[in-house]
A and B are shown apart, each in its own frame.
Chain A
Amino acid sequence: MSDNKGTLEIRNLSKSFIVDNNPLQILNNISLSVSSGAFVTIVGSSGCGKTTLLRIMLGLENHYTGEALIDGKQIIGPGTDRGIVFQDHRLLPWLTVGENVAFGLDKLKQKEKKFLVDEHLKLVGLNGFESAYPYQLSGGMAQRVAIARALANKPEILLLDEPLGALDALTRMYMQQELERLWLLEKITMIMVTHDIDEAIYLSDKVVIMSSRPGVIKKIIDVQLSRPRDRASSDFMRIKAEILQEFHLGTEYPFAYAI
């Protein structure tokens, strides 16, 4: 997007759930701003509220205090200006790959629909798979279809909720390269939740570190390495050590976490 679309602004956002009649604070005073076309990852241990934060951005969670704005407008419910890739690919098993990609394009004419489906399947490298059913795909392929489905709507922001969490290590690294390629190509804002620190450093301009109970933003680290990034470079390692420090995982054995 050439103009300044796809910006996100979160101001003093707090949210709590009611558990057994007691309020349980999930997010506490979160403030975050994401500029147009940036790649931002949110990392943190499980239970830090990072997924809840993403769901607020998506519009699936309401009832919070503070503000969440997309391009200056308050988020009210889901909308096609935001795409989502869930951890489970969430393809509908009764639709073919092509029909799944077209799921959000229902209002378009048949011709336009077909064009967009073809374009986006090609984009994720799955042209020729239109008539396959989800059960015939591998985990990585299914997740590519889910990405194509999200991008087919031409969102300004793509939200990714641990999209590669269920994949094996090698497929995962390959998919990280693919995500980077798509991001460079589409030039849209991407916000990803992950618990993989390498993944976060490899992909993002900004790494948002959250800690739990209640979820707060501990630190935001700018990653200013040139792309494509070398996972073994010393700069990469330095940033990784800096992040691990935040999780009190010490500097003595910085590699222990990577194994």
Chain B
Amino acid sequence: MAKKFLQRLGLKDKLLAIIVPLLVLTAWQGAVSQKLCSELILTPPLTLLKTLLELAQSGDLTLNILASLKRVMIGFLFGGTSGFVVGILMALSPFLNRIFGPLIKALQQVPEFAWMPLIIMFLGIDEFAKYFFVAIGAFYPMVLNTYQGVSGVPEKYHELARVFEYKSFRYLFKVIIPSALPSIITGIRLSLGLSWMFVVGAELFGSDSGVGYLMTWGRSVFQIDLVMAGLILVGVIGFAMNFLLERAEKQFFLWREPVEGRHA
């Protein structure tokens, strides 16, 4: 959505889109340096930049980002893969759908963060608990989108597979999954987004590394610039993951009619 928005803008509009935020940042910097607002409450942009650079120089930045990314990847792989498998099984077997369907629907009613205290009680707040928590976040969107994609494979493709005698794995990998792929990719995107949110949540709860830890640490030593730097990192990394996935998706879907081109 954000990217489409930028594409639509002309040159003059692009300048406007850059100038307006710049003006806001300048005003913010000015307000703090003119003592209109305390530096302790709102870190000015230049100080923020300095904080980020210092973090990068000391190596803390890379260390904490890598720690968070590792947790996201492991949790996402576990949760996403199991969601993918359960989604396919549910869509292909009415029996399993009867068993898992209502259960998943019921569990889905509970906001994910409500599980956190329970998980901590059983697993503590060590690395494994964090993976588990991220995996829960990754699981739901993957189950739902895989299920929708696979159960939405058009009847005409099923017929084609029957005519050409496609069975079992060949049928699954050459007809069903490709047809469901757009929906599955949506699931991956949502799933990765939630994983990122959950890793930050888990790190806020208790951790000695990670982007979330950077923020809690900043809060405990009352250094608001650290908190805001962490906030920016959380946003930028989330955006970057989504962006990369979108790029990969474009490479993947060469067979799709370019929709934007048609409307232009």
Contacts and interface: CB of A to CB of B under 8 A. Distances in A.
Interface of A: 58-60, 77-80, 84, 86, 88, 90, 92-96, 103-104, 106, 133-135, 153
Contacts of A153: 164
Contacts of B255: 93-96, 133-135
A103 B156 contact: no
A77 B255 CA distance: 31
Given A79-B165, A94-B181, 19 more contacts: A60-B163, A78-B162, A78-B163, A78-B164, A84-B163, A92-B160, A92-B175, A92-B178, A92-B179, A94-B178, A94-B179, A94-B255, A96-B255, A103-B160, A103-B164, A106-B170, A133-B255, A134-B255, A135-B257
B243 interface: no
Interface string B184-217: 0000000000000000000000000000000000
B126 interface: no
B254 interface: yes
Task: Give the bracket for the number of chain B residues in contact with chain A.
Answer: 10 to 19
A232 B175 CA distance: 45
B163 A58 contact: yes
A221 to B, nearest CB: 30
A137 B65 CA distance: 47
14 contacts: A60-B159, A78-B162, A78-B163, A90-B156, A90-B160, A92-B179, A94-B181, A95-B178, A103-B160, A106-B166, A106-B174, A133-B254, A135-B257, A153-B164
Nearest to B166: A106
A88 B162 CA distance: 17
B3 interface: no
A218 B110 CA distance: 64
Nearest to B156: A90
Nearest to B170: A106
B85 to A, nearest CB: 21
A32 B129 CA distance: 70
Contacts of B181: 94
Residue with the highest number of chain B CB atoms closer than 10 Å, among A86, A92, A135: A92
B128 interface: no
Nearest to B253: A94
Given A92-B175, A93-B255, A94-B179, A60 B164 contact: no
B156 A88 contact: yes
Contacts of B175: 92
A134 B164 CA distance: 19
Contacts of B257: 135
Contacts of B254: 133
The 7 closest A-B pairs by CB, nearest first: A135-B257, A104-B164, A94-B178, A133-B255, A78-B163, A94-B255, A78-B162
Given A104-B164, A135-B256, A92 B159 contact: no
Nearest to A55: B159
A86 B156 contact: yes
A245 B157 CA distance: 39
Nearest to A104: B164
A88 B155 CA distance: 13
Contacts of A93: 255-256
